[in-house]
Structure 1
Amino acid sequence: MPIHLELPPTLRDRLAESDRALIGLWATAGSAVNAEIVAGSGCDWVLLDAEHSPNGLESLLAQLHAMAPYPATVVVRPPYGDTVTIKQFLDLGAQNLLIPMVDSAEHAEEVVRATRYAPEGTRGVGSALARSARWNRVENYLARANDLVSVTVQIESVAAVSDVQRIVAVDGVDAVFVGPADLAASMGLLGQQSHPAVVDAVLHVISAARAAGKPVGVNAFVPEQAERYIEAGANFIAVGADVAILARATEALVDQFIPSGSEGATAGDTAAPRASY
């Protein structure tokens, strides 16, 4: 007797059903144990990052396995939005993709095509061999694939902010997500995510997305900034990362027992305050 499986709701589905901003965390250590701990925290969604983290296909697969029993929606960020990488990540079973460095509506259209089977797109057909369709145990996967995948594009440059109205209008872009760190760098304000000009640019993207009826998310590891963006209408927000939480928590614990400036203190004790991502 055939086995028919159903996949969990996509990020698009979760956003459509929620009456509040969805709160997310990053899992960036490349560790299935870390990813499972983060997924079990009670957050709404978790980002598995392959852009700035030591993640490849095998480590991502292990983390997807570890997070599968938990209700948190898993979003996977490839290193770049190219057709081959998107195909591989989808076949791993990543239902929700966050594509970095999308600077124009034309690039957003290319990204959407990479997630679609022909004739709409360029995604290679390998569902019988892949976890995406649970090896053809998800009924009618090929016909339903567009409904089982969500695409979020990242706005993180001056060019993208300038083209945001066209980007949010692209059919198949389910949401946009602002990356203030790279946006600040693009504006000549490297490391100054809280600069008024950067904040204004983020608020502009939120306003443009809301006007177009598209969900919009933001990366904001400073609580005050996160609250401000939620109040401005952000639908989902990332508020911390596993490695950053571990780094700051371990430093605080050590500082409790080894005061700054005491004998045996490390060089890090006298360093400048660490900036949030």
Structure 2
Amino acid sequence: MSEKSFLAEKLCSGKPVVTAWSLLSAPLVPELLARAGYEAVTLDLQHGMLDFEAAVETMALIALGGAHRIARIPVGDNALAGRLVDMGAECIIAPMINSKREAEEFARSIKYPPVGERSWSPFRAAMLNGQTSDQYLKNANSQTLSLAMIETQDAIDALDDILSVSELDGIFVGPSDLSLSLSQGSALDPNGAGTAEVCARIAEKARAAGKLAGIFCLSGEKVEEAVQQGYQLMSHGIDTIFLDHAARAALKEVEQLAQAGGGPKAGY
């Protein structure tokens, strides 16, 4: 990522971007994901183990690794959203946005007047962006993205109103919670055909409203499907799952070699 490259510019140009997803409070891990080639890394402060302090350190390492910086806040924590953009987040994802009012309050928390109500203190953000304070102020409202998560039936019912919020840059779909809500808690089916159909309609409405559309993907196939549906930001790859799969694969390799050699399994 060059000094003058911004996530907002890429997404608004229509370029698909895949982001890694980080749950661990281990700053080196997102840096490694960035260095592996991910264009963006998302820090999950809703369901992950990171606190504000860890997120601040981690965003600097993501920038060092050459990737864009995204953060998901806990439900309704607009104050934290403002703090995270001050520390360098280029995009904030807000979960469980179910109404126009909630979308407005969230989006305005990370936009400067007259668009929003963000308070001034972006010195770390300007530094990570390679900008002076004046340059940051001039560009912040267009370069700092607000994405409201659509993951409930209530959000779908209010989608037109949510998309009408001028301060909001776009939406981000959570298929797991969406499938739970659509089935009234009877099934977790993020990859199901019914969920995919609803996700396609959400993307279509977002694009028609001139908004960005992002989605959480659980496989490479789902990333490709999302691009075809009109999504621009796709998450794929979670640090905890990477570690789990890599550890199991390493142990399996040792076990297979031991079995092929006829030797003892050595506890495997």
TM-score range, shorter chain: 0.7 to 0.9
Contact 1:7–1:138, Cα closer than 8 Å, also in 2:
no
1:165 aligns with 2:151: no
Distance 1:223 1:144, change over 3 A: closer
Distance 1:224 1:143, change over 3 A: closer
Q: Which residue of 2 aligns with 1:69?
A: 64
Question: Map of 1:54-203 to 2, 5 A cutoff?
Answer: 54-127=49-122, 130-134=123-127, 137-187=132-182, 188-203=185-200
Instruction: Output the TM-score relative to the length of structure 2.
Output: 0.85
Aligned mates of 1:232, 1:189 — CA distance in 2:
26
Deviation at 1:81, TM superposition (A): 3.6
Aligned mates of 1:250, 1:159 — CA distance in 2:
40
Deviation at 1:43, TM superposition (A): 1.8
Aligned mates of 1:45, 1:183 — CA distance in 2:
24
Q: Deviations over 1:236-273 (max 9, x none)?
A: 211111111111221233234447xx9956xxxxxxxx
Distance 1:219 1:176, change over 3 A: same
Deviation at 1:227, TM superposition (A): 2.0
Q: Which residue of 1 aligns with 2:12?
A: 16
Q: Deviations over 1:148-190 (max 9, x none)?
A: 3111111111111222222222112212111101111212244
Instruction: Output the TM-score relative to the length of structure 1.
Output: 0.82
Deviation at 1:8, TM superposition (A): 4.8
Count, aligned residues: 255
Q: Which moved more, 1:51-60 or 1:210-219?
A: 210-219
Distance 1:164 1:11, change over 3 A: farther
Question: Secondary structure at 1:250's aligned position in 2?
Answer: helix
Question: Secondary structure at 1:80's aligned position in 2?
Answer: coil
Query: Structure 1, unaligned stretches of length 5 or more?
Result: 1-5, 266-277
Deviation at 1:74, TM superposition (A): 1.3
> Greater helix share, 1 or 2?
2
Aligned mates of 1:58, 1:181 — CA distance in 2:
28
Give the residue type in structure 2 aligned to 1:160.
Answer: A
Deviation at 1:118, TM superposition (A): 4.2
Question: Secondary structure at 2:65's aligned position in 1?
Answer: coil
Distance 1:50 1:139, change over 3 A: same
Question: Secondary structure at 2:215's aligned position in 1?
Answer: strand
Query: Structure 2, unaligned stretches of length 5 or more?
Result: 257-264
Aligned mates of 1:230, 1:148 — CA distance in 2:
22
Aligned mates of 2:3, 2:165 — CA distance in 1:
25
